[in-house]
Amino acid sequence: MATLRERVIAALSPYVGPMVADTCVRGTALSIGKTADELTNEDLPALESSMRRLLGPVAPATVIDDLLQQLERGN
């Protein structure tokens, strides 16, 4: 099973590319005192906030909502 880090990067990459997606995940992890590999589902609210800021200019709100729901379900 993919880690949360891998799932978030996979979800973001089609919109912003893998490097920006990884930077978003690592930055979010650092902001809550963790490494990207330590992220758990409990950290989804922080990731959601970062993802909304990052994707807001490039994706409709419905797409962002769908991505976040997929992550919450573990997809």
Measured at the CA of 14, the angle between CA 65 and CA 8, to 5 degrees, comes to 60
Q: How far apart are CA 12 and CA 35, in angstroms?
A: 18
Domains in the chain: how many in total?
Answer: 1
Question: Phi, psi at residue 25, to the nearest 5°?
Answer: -65, -45
Domain carrying residue 53:
4-73
Q: What is the pTM of this model?
A: 0.89
Burial-class residue 25 by CB neighbours within 10 Å (0-12, 13-18, 19+).
buried
Q: How far apart are CA 46 and CA 24, in angstroms?
A: 11
Q: What is the pLDDT of residues 31-57, one digit of tens each?
A: 999 999 999 999 999 999 999 999 999
Band of pLDDT at residue 25, cut at 50, 70 and 90: very high
